[in-house]
């Protein structure tokens, strides 16, 4: 275990630690308050708050419309359809890669002289998926309301039986997309979720075009309507990443049977902290990995760790070419620029998303990396590269020293480095242990929330 730079807190300065056990009395203090403990709970994370905010806004619109009579009479179907389209547009556009990068760019414009509380909140920008979920749920509910209004008209309303038939088909697809996205289904059947989301979403969009044409009275009328323009914008947003679909050569280096380092050099050098989606079967499944560009060199690397069937096949049967699409997209660690000093806590291949920030050195940082036999698993070259930029890093070898108390290590590094924030890249349980534990103690902390 490499432990340079970590000393007990709040004891006087001591020589660098070399033993596996943490010294007594240097663990995190109790949570600062009951309120902070509640707000740090995963159920109250900003992702869920955004979902609730979107649903609350739609509930307010529903109540106002009931009082104003919008949802009754001959214009009810059109009003309900407009509400559905606005929410579906929110769900689609907030996932668009250019929009994601814009949100991160705006959130990280805040200078570090701003109050920590404001910067802490801006750093939660990666929870934007809550807008996607809220918009999808509300849009589906409004669409079912519109379908109910058309059904009540018995095919005598706008668009006739054709609008009703396409409406039922669209509703079935929307319910399938929403149903497979529910956490219990998504976690157990991720491939089903991904394919239903992609292929079902495309089919639903085509049916929405058809239904909108029937309701408008024909293609010419639809082209001149707000609904037509909105659908055109959404179609362009969905198609844009696929217009950049290409198959590119890669060089795969395998330092161990657990990890593959994938080298790209096809004329693209992404910004540090971004991610790229790759695939071997572009219609069926995509997997995103953090880009690791090297300063002064073209191209970039991805770190693929054995974590399932797809990654296992990728490592055992390395391809010579893979598919890529769209543009590189900002990730959670990009919020580092909101703070004067940060601590990175990574486990295993979580070093992948962290490494480009360590190499870029935009913000003073301290690394805590917990893994099994770092050099045997990830190779001497990678470990030496990390230590060249992070000579004071804590590298904890679980094969020799056992599993550590991650929160304790994070707190020690935070105190000793005088950091403002902690960024954790790990599996779900450990990420929540660190993020929740630090935030309960009044420390800004960030980590992936698995909402995309």
Please, are residues 411 and 28 in contact by the beta-carbon 8 Å criterion? yes
**Would you state the CATH architecture of domain 245-330?**
Beta Barrel (2.40)
Please, are residues 205 and 173 in contact by the beta-carbon 8 Å criterion? no
Contacts of 428 (CB under 8 A, 6+ apart): 450
Helix axes 129-152, 46-68, angle to 10 degrees: 30
What pLDDT is stored for residue 187 in this prediction?
A: 82
Give the Cα separation of 108 and 47 in Å (integer). 18
* pLDDT per residue of the chain (452 residues) written in tens, 0 to 9: 444 333 333 333 333 333 333 444 478 899 988 888 998 898 899 999 999 999 999 999 999 999 999 998 888 999 999 999 999 999 999 999 999 999 999 999 999 999 999 999 999 999 999 999 999 999 999 999 999 999 988 777 677 899 999 999 999 999 999 999 998 898 888 889 989 999 999 999 999 999 999 999 899 999 999 999 999 999 999 999 999 999 999 999 999 989 999 999 998 889 988 999 999 999 888 999 999 988 888 899 999 988 878 899 999 999 999 999 999 999 999 999 999 999 999 999 899 999 999 999 999 999 999 999 999 999 999 999 999 999 999 999 999 999 999 999 999 999 999 999 999 999 999 999 999 999 999 999 999 987 64
What pLDDT is stored for residue 451 in this prediction?
A: 66
Domain boundaries, the chain: 39-242, 245-330, 332-447
Find residue 322's DSSP bridge partners.
248
What pLDDT is stored for residue 19 in this prediction?
A: 32
Sign, CA torsion 235/241/244/248: negative
Give the Cα separation of 86 and 134 in Å (integer). 12
What pLDDT is stored for residue 339 in this prediction?
A: 98
Sheet-wide strand order for 342-347: 394-397, 365-371, 342-347, 421-425, 445-447
How many Cα neighbours within 13 Å face the side chain of 218? 2
- CATH code for the part of the protein at 332-447: 3.40.50.80
Q: Tokens in use for 4? A: 């340079």
What pLDDT is stored for residue 189 in this prediction?
A: 86
Please, are residues 273 and 356 in contact by the beta-carbon 8 Å criterion? yes
What pLDDT is stored for residue 308 in this prediction?
A: 79
pTM score, whole prediction = 0.89
């Amino acid at each position: 275990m490499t432990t340079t730079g970590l000393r007990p807190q709040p004891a006087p300065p001591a020589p660098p630690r070399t033993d596996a056990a943490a010294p007594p009395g240097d663990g995190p203090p109790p949570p600062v308050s009951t309120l902070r403990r509640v707000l740090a709970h995963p159920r109250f994370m900003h992702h869920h708050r955004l979902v609730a905010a979107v649903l609350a806004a739609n509930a307010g619109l529903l109540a106002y419309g009931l009082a104003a009579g919008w949802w009754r009479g001959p214009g009810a179907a059109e009003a309900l359809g407009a509400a559905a389209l606005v929410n579906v547009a929110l769900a689609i556009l907030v996932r668009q890669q250019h929009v994601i990068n814009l949100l991160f760019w705006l959130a990280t414009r805040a200078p570090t002289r701003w109050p920590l509380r404001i910067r802490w909140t801006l750093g939660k920008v990666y929870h934007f998926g809550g807008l996607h979920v809220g918009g999808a749920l509300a849009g589906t509910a409004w669409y079912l309301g519109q379908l109910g209004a058309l059904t009540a008209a018995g095919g005598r309303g706008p668009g006739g039986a054709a609008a009703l038939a396409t409406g039922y088909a669209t509703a079935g697809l929307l319910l399938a997309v929403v149903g497979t996205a529910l956490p219990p289904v998504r976690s157990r059947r991720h491939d089903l979720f991904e394919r239903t989301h992609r292929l079902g979403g495309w089919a639903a969009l085509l049916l929405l075009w058809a239904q909108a044409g029937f309701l408008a009275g024909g293609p010419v009328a639809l082209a001149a309507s707000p609904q037509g323009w909105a659908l055109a914008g959404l179609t362009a947003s969905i198609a844009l990443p696929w217009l950049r679909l290409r198959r590119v050569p890669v060089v795969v280096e395998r330092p161990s049977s657990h990890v593959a380092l994938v080298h790209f050099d096809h004329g693209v050098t992404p910004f540090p902290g971004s991610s790229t989606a790759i695939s071997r079967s572009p219609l069926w499944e995509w997997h995103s990995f953090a880009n690791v560009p090297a300063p002064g060199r073209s191209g970039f690397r991805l770190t693929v760790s054995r974590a399932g069937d797809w990654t296992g096949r990728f490592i055992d049967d390395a391809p010579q070419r893979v598919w890529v699409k769209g543009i590189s997209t900002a990730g959670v660690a990009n919020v580092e620029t909101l703070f004067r000093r940060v601590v990175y806590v990574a486990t295993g291949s979580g070093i992948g998303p962290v490494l480009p920030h360590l190499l870029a050195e935009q913000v003073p940082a301290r690394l805590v990396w917990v893994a099994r036999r770092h050099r045997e698993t990830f190779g001497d070259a990678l470990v030496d590269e990390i230590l060249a930029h992070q000579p004071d890093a804590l590298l904890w070898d679980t094969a020799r020293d056992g599993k550590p108390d991650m929160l304790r290590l994070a707190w020690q590094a935070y105190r000793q480095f005088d950091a403002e924030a902690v960024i954790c890249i790990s599996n779900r349980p450990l990420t929540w242990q660190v993020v929740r534990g630090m935030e309960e103690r009044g420390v800004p902390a960030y980590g992936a929330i698995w909402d995309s």
